[in-house]
Amino acid sequence: MAENADAIQKVHPVLEYDFRKVQNPPHDKIQITWIGHATVLVQIEGMNILADPVFSEKCGPAGFVGNKRFTPPACQVEDLPQIDVVIISHNHHDHLDSQSVRDIARLHPKARWLVGLGNKKFCVDKGCANVEEMEWWESTSIGSFTFVCTPTQHWCQRYPLDFNNALWCGWVVESPKYKYYFAGDTGYQDELFNLIGRKYGPFDLASIPIGAYEPRFITKFERVNPEEAVKIHMDIRCRVSIGIHWGTFELTNEYYLEPPQELEKQMYNNGLDPKTFFSLRIGETWIVGEDRDYDPPFMEREKTGTPRLNNGPGDLGATGSNQHVSKDEKVEEAGVLTN
C-alpha cells in the first residue's frame, strides 16, 4: 500500500470507542459497532452478539506471518461488554483469530459459540467452554432468540493440509422483534440469497462484505464486489445493510477506499437510497434508524465529486423495500456537479 500511516489516518481514522453507548444499548432497537474488517458487535434486545472476532495486529498462521492491519481495531477484547453469543462464519485467519478466541474465552467464559461443522475442536482447544457446531440450515435457540446457520459461497483452510475440512456459513439471528443477517465472507449466488430472503426475510439489519475483490478472475467465486453486495442486499430484502470486510487488511488489489465509494455508486445504479446500504466508520456505534454522518472522510467527496448526503436516516420502509432515488436527483438537490 502506497499510503503512509498519516495519510490513512486523515481519510480513514478510527473513531474513539464509545464505552457509554456500548455498555448501555437500547433494549427496543438494534445497535451495531464496527470494530474492523468483519468484526462487528451487534446488540439486539438485551443480547450482545460478536461476529468473526479478530483483534490481533496480524491475521495469519503465526504472529510474525500474515497480513498486518493498516487500521487498528476499535477496541480490545477487555473493552467489550458481556458477550452472550459469538458467531463464526469460517476459519480463515482474518475471520477466526487464535489469540482473540483465547482472550474472549478467558474474559467471557459464559459466551455461547456458534460455528460451522468442523470448527468446534479449534474453539475448544483455545478454551471455549460452550461451543455448538452446526450444519447449513440447522437452527438453535438461545433464550428467545433463534440462530440459523445458512450457506454461503466460500471455502475454508487454515493450514496446508486442511482444505475444506470445515464448513463456511452465514448467520440469521431472529429476536422476538428483529431479524439480523451476517454474511461473513461470500461470493454471489442469486438462487441462494433469494432463498434466504424468502425463508427468513425481510431483515432489519445485515452485515455484508464489500471489499477484497480484485482481481476478479481470482476472487469472483469466493468474494462479492460492491455491485454483487447490493444484489445480496436486495435478494434478502433488507431494510438497511452495513458494508464490512474492507479498510483493515490489505488482502487484494483494489484501492483501499474504493469499496464504500463503489457501493454508493451501485446503490444509485440500482435506484436505491444510498443511506440504506453504507459503511460505518471503524469504532462507530450506530442505533439503526437514527441520524448519523453519511459523509465520512473515506468517501472523499471533494476528490470524487460525489454529492453530500444529509445526516437523517434513509427511507427504511416497512417491508424491506428501499426508496428509489437517482444520483442525478441527489446531485440536483445538493447543487453539485460531478464528472
Q: What is the pLDDT of residue 323?
A: 47
pLDDT tens track for 195-245: 999 999 999 999 999 998 999 899 888 889 999 999 999 999 999 999 999
Is pTM beyond 0.95 here?
Answer: no
Give a yes or no: residue 273 inside a domain.
yes
What average pLDDT is seen over the chain? 90
**Quick check: is 41 in a domain?**
yes
C-alpha cell at 37: 474488517
Number of domains, the chain = 1
Identify whether 229 is part of a domain. Answer: yes
Domain extent, residue 315, equals 5-334
171 lies in some domain: yes
pLDDT in the model for residue 265: 97
Range in 57-61, 81-85, 149-153, 300-304 with the lowest mean pLDDT: 57-61
Q: Which position has the higher pLDDT, 167 or 155?
A: 167
At residue 327, does pLDDT exceed 90?
Answer: no
79 located within any domain: yes
Helix or strand run (H / E) with residue 49: strand 47-51
Q: How confident is residue 304, by pLDDT bands cut at 50, 70 and 90? A: confident
Q: What is the pLDDT of residue 161?
A: 80
Q: Beta 170-174 vs 179-182: how paired, if at all?
A: antiparallel
Band of pLDDT at residue 1, cut at 50, 70 and 90 = low
For residue 190, tell me if it sits in a domain. Answer: yes
pLDDT at 162: 80
**Can you list the alpha helix ranges (DSSP code H) found in the chain?**
5-11, 19-23, 98-107, 120-125, 190-200, 216-219, 226-235, 258-269, 301-304, 327-334
For residue 339, being part of any structural domain is answered with no
Does residue 67 lie within any of the structural domains? yes
Segment 258-272 shows an average pLDDT of 97
Residue 63 has pLDDT above 70, yes or no: no
For residue 217, give the CATH number of its domain: 3.60.15.10
What is the signed CA dihedral for 206, 31, 247, 313, rounded to 10 degrees? 80
